[in-house]
Structure 1
Amino acid sequence: MAELVWTIAGSDSGGGAGVQADVKAMHSFGVQTCTAITALTAQNSLAVEEINAVSSEVLESQLLALEADLKAAVIKIGMLANSTQIQLVAEHLAQYKSRWDNPPVIVFDPVAIASSGDVLTEEDTLDALKKYLLPLVDVITPNTQETQVLTGVYLIGPDAVREAARKLREFGVKSVIIKGGHWDYPSGYCIDYCWSEGEEYWLGNEAIQTPHSHGTGCSFASSVAACLAKGYPIKDAFILAKAYINQGLKLAQRFGEGRGPLAHCGFPENISDFPQVIEPGSWLGDELEFAVSEEFNFAAGFAPIGEELGLYAVVDSVDWVEKCLAEGVKTVQLRIKQADHATLEEDIQCAITLGEKYQGRVFINDHWELSIRHGAYGVHLGQEDLDSANLVAIQQAGLRLGVSTHGFYEMLRAHNYRPSYLAFGAIYPTTTKDMSGQIQGLEKLRHFVPLMRETYPTVAIGGIDLTRAPQVAATGVGSVAVVRAITEAADYKQAIIDLKRATGES
C-alpha cells in the first residue's frame, strides 16, 4: 500500500508552486498525494495578481471528505490565507492527533511570506499561527526571511540560527529546519540547518545560480513530508529534500516571460546533487567556527582497497576467522564486542596473522588502537566511533577504514572522511544487534548503491541469508556481508559455496 500524504495549501495557476509543486515533489518520492485547497491564486511567471481564499465551508468540506476515507501518514501545510483558516485547520489537526489510531506527522512550510509578501506580517495572522497552529507542528521549514518574521531573530551567524530554532521550539514545534537559500553565509554557499530531538545537523553546498527557482520552498517541505511518510528519519528527509532541490535548480528552465519553476526529476540519484554534511574541521565547518578537537585531513582519506570485497564474513572468534579464510572467503571481520574479553589483544593479533597467511582482508571491528599496534589490514567503525576514535592515527598508520551507515545522512557523513569502503544496513531485521528504526530494506539499498558505487567498494549487511542474498546482490552492491548464514549453517563449507554462487562471486 502506497504511503499517503495530504497537502493543505493554495493552488498556483502558474503551476510552479503551491499544491501543483507539492504533488510533483511527493510523486517523485513515490507517495500518493491528496489535496485540500486553501486559496485559488491568479498568477503567472511574472507576478501574483490575486489570492482568493476559499471559504471556511469549502475548506472544511475537503478536510472532512479526506478524513472519512483517506487518512494520511503526514500532512503538509502550505499557505493559509488568513487567521480564520489557521484556526480551522488547527482544530482539525488537533482532532486528528487525538482521534486517529496513527496520528499524522504535521509538516508546516510558512510560504505565505514568499507568495504574497505581506500575509504573515499581519499581527492577527502571526498571533493565530503562534497560538493555534505551531503547537501542533512536528516539523517547520521556514526560509531565512520567514524565520526572522516568526522569531524576531536576524540570522547573522550560526549562533543566531540556533537561537531562532530555539524560539520556534518554544512555540511548541518539535523539529526545526531552517533553509539557507537567502542567507549567503559564507558568501557563495547555501547552508541549511536542522534541529530535532536534541541533535543538530548542518548541510552546505555552493549556491546554484539560476533565476528559475519558483516553488522551491513548497517542494522542499513536500519532499520532507514524503520521506517522513516513507518512514525515513528526519535527518534523511532533510538531506534528500536538499538534494532534490539542488537537482531541480540545476535543470530548471523558463516558461513564460518571468521566473521559471523548479524542475521535478524524480528521486535524487546523482551524488553531485547532494550537499555536504558539515563536520568540524572541514572547510565549511571552519567558516561556521565549529570547534575542532583534532585536525583531520579530509582530502587524503584512507588507504584504498582497489576492488569489491566479495562475500564478507562477520565472525566473533579467531576460529571462525580461520575457517572462513581457509574456505576462500577473502574478506572477514572479527567482531568481539565484549570489552573485557580475556584474550582480546591475543585474538586480534592472531586474526591479523591469519589474514596474512591466507592473503585475505581481515578487518577488526571497533578496536582501532590494537589494530594500529599490530598492523591490521583494516578497521571497521560505526557512526558513533567517528566521534571517539582517533581517525588521524588510523589514517597515518595506513589502515583501511570501513564505516557502517544507516541511511542517507550517515552515508554522506561517512563520505566526508573518504573511507576505504561503505557498509549499508541493516537491510533486514537481525537477531545479532538491535537495529530498531534503522532497517533500510532493498528499496533504500537500490538508492544507496548508485550514489556510492563509483567511489567506494560497497557492502550490504544485516539479516542476509542464502534465500535473501540473490535479491541483495541484484541491487548492484559490491559485497554481501553475512553473520549467522555461515556460523550457524549445518555445513559451513557448503554455505560458503552456496553464498558465493548466490552473490555472483566466482
Structure 2
Amino acid sequence: MPDHVSAQKQRAQAASESIAKPIVWSIAGNDSGGGAGLSADARAAEAFGVHLCPVVAAVTAQNSRAVTRVEPVSAELLDAQLAALADDLPPAAIKTGLLGSAANIAVVARWVGRLRERAPVALVVDPVLGASTGAAFAGEAALAAYRELLLPRATLVTPNRREAARLAGGGAAGGDVPALAAALRGTGAQAIAVTGGDDAAAAPGRSLDWIATPQAGGWLALPRVATPHTHGTGCTFATSAACALALGFVPADALVLAKMATTHALAHGYAAGQGAGPVAARPGFATEPALLPAMSWDESSQFSSCLRPPDTGQSPKTFEEIGLYAIVDSAERVRQVVAAGVRTVQLRIKTPDAPDAAWHAALRQSAADALAACRVAGATLVVNDHWRLAAELGEPSHLVVHLGQEDLLALGEAGRAELAASGLKLGISSHSLWELCRARALAPWYAACGPVWPTLTKAMPWVPQGLDNLAWWVRMAGMPVVAIGGILEPAQLELAARSGASGVCVVRGLGDDPATTVPRWQAALAAGRAAPPLPVPALPHPSLAP
C-alpha cells in the first residue's frame, strides 16, 4: 500500500475514533496554579477517554496555598461559549464547578433546558461554594440560584458535607448525612453523593461517601489515602461521575467509578509548589482491584456493613475451584448431575404464590435428599433462596446458600447478621458495579456475574455482561466469580472459562441425560482453562440502560 494511502487511512481512523468519544462540557473556574477546576477536570476526562470541552465560568488567582482573587466571567461571555459549542460539540453530560455568580447559574440552567429539547443530557452539579483555604465563592444569591435553577435539573449533585448543609438550608437535618441527601433529593435532583474525603474525623482511616440514587443508596467505602496532595479532589470526583454518565452508566455505577478514579488520583498526586499538590487521575485506574469500594447494604446503617471487603490482593488463580456449576429443580436431577461428575450443583425450586404446609414439607424433603446425594458424591449443594431451611439441614461443609440482592436487602441488618452466624457459605448475584460493591461488603464464597449472554430463564432489566465485563469481574471482585446466563453451548462455556471465572453455570444445556451432556461441558471447561486468558478491558461497559 502506498505511504500516502496508508497515512490517509490512519488519519481517517483517528478522526473516526475522536468523533466516537463522548463529549462532556465542564463549566467551571480556571485555576492559575493548575491544581483544581478545569485543569483537574481535563485530567479526569483523559482517564475516562472522553472529550472534555473546558468552558470558563470564572478566573481565579491562586496557587497551591491560597486563592487571592476570583472573577466570574460575564453572563454574556459564558452564554457565547456555550452557544459556540451547542451545534458542533453537543454534550452527553455537563459538569458544573465554580460558576461565580447567580447570573452564570441562570445561563447554565437555560442551556440545559435547550439542549434537553434535542437529546438527553446528564447534568452533574459540583456546588463549589468555597475553597479549602476558607475563601467564599458563593453568596446567598448564588445559593438561591442553585436551589431554584440547577438542583431541580440535576442528574447528580456532589457536595461535601458542609456544602450539602448550606444547600439544604444551613442546619437542616442536623448535619446527618443521609438526611441531608434526602433533603437535597427533595429539590428535584435525581441523585446525590455527599462526599466524605475531607471529613477524616468522621471515619478514621476510611473515606466514606453517602450515595442516594434511583438504583441504590448507602455508604461507599475505601481506605483513606494518606497524602498532602489533595488539590482538585472534588473536581475530579464530579468530572469522573460526569464522564461515566456520558459513557452510559447509571448514577449508582457512575459513582462507583468516580470513587475509584478519585482514590487513584489521590494516590498519584504530586507536589507542585509549596502547598497541597494536585491529584492526578490516569487511564487504567479501573483495573486496580484494591480501588473497587465496598458498599453498605442498608441505607439506615452507619459504617458497620461496609467494612469487610475481601482480600483484593488474592490472585483469581488461588481461589477455590467451583468448576461446572449445574442448576436444577429437583432432588432427582441433583442425583443425575452429581452421578455424571458435577461437583457444584444448585437446587432451585421456585416458591408458589401461596405456599402451603405440604409444599414446605416437600421442599424440605427435596433439600434433604439432594444434600444426601451430594454428600455421597463429595459435591457441594447450593440451595437457592431458602437459607433458613439450609441452615436447619446442619451441614455447612457441604452447603452453600445463594441469594439475590433484593432478598439480601429484604433481610435487613438483623437478618444478614443471622445469616452470617449460621456458618453457611454464601453466593450472591451481581449484575452491576454497585451490586458487586455490595457483595464485597459481605465477603461471600462467590459472586455471580450475569447475564453473560441474553437469557430467557428469567425476565431481567440488565444488559448482557458479555465476556469483557466477565473478565473485568474476575480481575476486580476479590472473590471467586461464577459466570451465569445464556450459556447454551460448550463453546460459550469454554470462552467463559477463559475469563478466569471460578465456576460456569449451565441450566438448560444439561438436557434430559446429564450422563451424556456433562462430559462435553467438562471438556469445554478444561479447554477454556488451558487456553490463553481473555483480555481485561480498561473500563467495564454499562449493564443497565440509563
Structure 2-normalised TM-score?
A: 0.79
CA distance in 2, matches of 1:9, 1:486: 57
CA distance in 1, matches of 2:345, 2:229: 51
Structure 2 residue aligned with 1:258:
275
Structure 1 residue aligned with 2:481:
458
Task: Give the aligned residue type for 2:449.
Answer: F
Distance 1:88 1:392, change over 3 A: closer
Asked whether 1:424 is paired with 2:449, we answer: yes
Structure 2 residue aligned with 1:475:
499
Deviation at 1:279, TM superposition (A): 5.3
Asked whether 1:162 is paired with 2:185, we answer: no
CA contact (8 A) 1:185 1:191 kept: no
Structure 2 residue aligned with 1:293:
none
CA distance in 2, matches of 1:476, 1:447: 10
Q: 1:285 aligns with which of 297, 303, 308?
A: 303
Cα displacement string for residues 241-266 of structure 1 (whole angstroms, at most 9, x for unaligned residues)? 22322232233220222220112133
Q: 1:386 aligns with which of 404, 408, 425?
A: 408
CA contact (8 A) 1:119 1:125 kept: no
CA contact (8 A) 2:46 2:282 kept: no
CA distance in 1, matches of 2:107, 2:287: 39
CA distance in 1, matches of 2:493, 2:39: 41
Task: Give the aligned residue type for 1:312.
Answer: Y
Q: 2:55 aligns with which of 22, 36, 47?
A: 36
Asked whether 1:23 is paired with 2:42, we answer: yes
Structure 2 residue aligned with 1:245:
262
Distance 1:348 1:10, change over 3 A: same
Structure 2 residue aligned with 1:333:
346
Task: Give the aligned residue type for 2:404.
Answer: G
Distance 1:53 1:280, change over 3 A: closer
CA contact (8 A) 2:29 2:98 kept: yes
Asked whether 1:46 is paired with 2:98, we answer: no
* Larger displacement relative to structure 2 (24-33 or 391-400): 391-400
Deviation at 1:412, TM superposition (A): 2.6
Task: Give the aligned residue type for 1:474.
Answer: R
Asked whether 1:121 is paired with 2:138, we answer: yes
Cα displacement string for residues 190-245 of structure 1 (whole angstroms, at most 9, x for unaligned residues)? 43212223953123445433221000001001121222233333223223322322
Deviation at 1:51, TM superposition (A): 3.7
Distance 1:394 1:58, change over 3 A: closer
Task: Give the aligned residue type for 1:222.
Answer: T
CA distance in 2, matches of 1:217, 1:300: 27
Distance 1:313 1:34, change over 3 A: farther
Task: Give the aligned residue type for 2:202.
Answer: P
Structure 1 residue aligned with 2:100:
81
CA contact (8 A) 2:35 2:232 kept: yes
Structure 2 residue aligned with 1:176:
192
Report the 3-state secondary structure (helix = DSSP H, G, I; strand = E; otherwise coil) of the residue aligned with 2:402.
strand
Distance 1:66 1:446, change over 3 A: farther
Report the 3-state secondary structure (helix = DSSP H, G, I; strand = E; otherwise coil) of the residue aligned with 1:114.
coil
CA distance in 2, matches of 1:308, 1:465: 21
CA distance in 2, matches of 1:51, 1:444: 44
Q: Output aligned runs, 1:123-162, within 5 Å.
A: 123-154=140-171, 160-162=176-178
Q: Which has the higher contact order (CA 8 A, sep 6+)?
A: 2
Distance 1:134 1:70, change over 3 A: same
RMSD: 3.5
CA contact (8 A) 2:310 2:441 kept: no
Q: Output aligned runs, 1:174-323, within 5 Å.
A: 174-186=190-202, 188=204, 189-197=206-214, 200-266=217-283, 267-278=285-296, 285=303, 307-323=320-336
Deviation at 1:52, TM superposition (A): 4.5
Structure 1-normalised TM-score?
A: 0.85
Distance 1:132 1:262, change over 3 A: same
CA distance in 2, matches of 1:21, 1:485: 51
Deviation at 1:439, TM superposition (A): 4.2
Deviation at 1:438, TM superposition (A): 5.9
CA distance in 1, matches of 2:330, 2:300: 38
CA distance in 1, matches of 2:530, 2:376: 22
Cα displacement string for residues 28-67 of structure 1 (whole angstroms, at most 9, x for unaligned residues)? 2343333333234443323334444444444334323433
Deviation at 1:363, TM superposition (A): 0.8
Task: Give the aligned residue type for 2:484.
Answer: I
CA distance in 1, matches of 2:88, 2:300: 50
CA distance in 1, matches of 2:215, 2:286: 28
CA distance in 1, matches of 2:86, 2:178: 36
Q: 1:440 aligns with which of 454, 465, 480?
A: 465
Cα displacement string for residues 384-403 of structure 1 (whole angstroms, at most 9, x for unaligned residues)? 23245555555455432211
CA distance in 1, matches of 2:107, 2:310: 56
CA contact (8 A) 2:451 2:486 kept: yes
Misfit runs of 4+, over 6 Å: 280-283, 296-301, 488-491
Identity of aligned residues (%): 36
CA distance in 2, matches of 1:298, 1:55: 50
Distance 1:120 1:299, change over 3 A: closer
Cα displacement string for residues 285-319 of structure 1 (whole angstroms, at most 9, x for unaligned residues)? 36xxx9xxxxx997999xxx962211222222334
Q: 1:13 aligns with which of 17, 32, 38?
A: 32
Report the 3-state secondary structure (helix = DSSP H, G, I; strand = E; otherwise coil) of the residue aligned with 1:121.
coil
* Larger displacement relative to structure 2 (79-88 or 233-242): 233-242
Q: Show structure 1 runs of 5+ residues with no match.
A: 291-295
* Larger displacement relative to structure 2 (196-205 or 476-485): 196-205
Distance 1:349 1:78, change over 3 A: same
Distance 1:319 1:499, change over 3 A: farther
CA distance in 2, matches of 1:297, 1:229: 31
CA distance in 2, matches of 1:242, 1:462: 29
Task: Give the aligned residue type for 1:496.
Answer: W
CA contact (8 A) 2:218 2:299 kept: no
Cα displacement string for residues 268-294 of structure 1 (whole angstroms, at most 9, x for unaligned residues)? 4444444443457999636xxx9xxxx
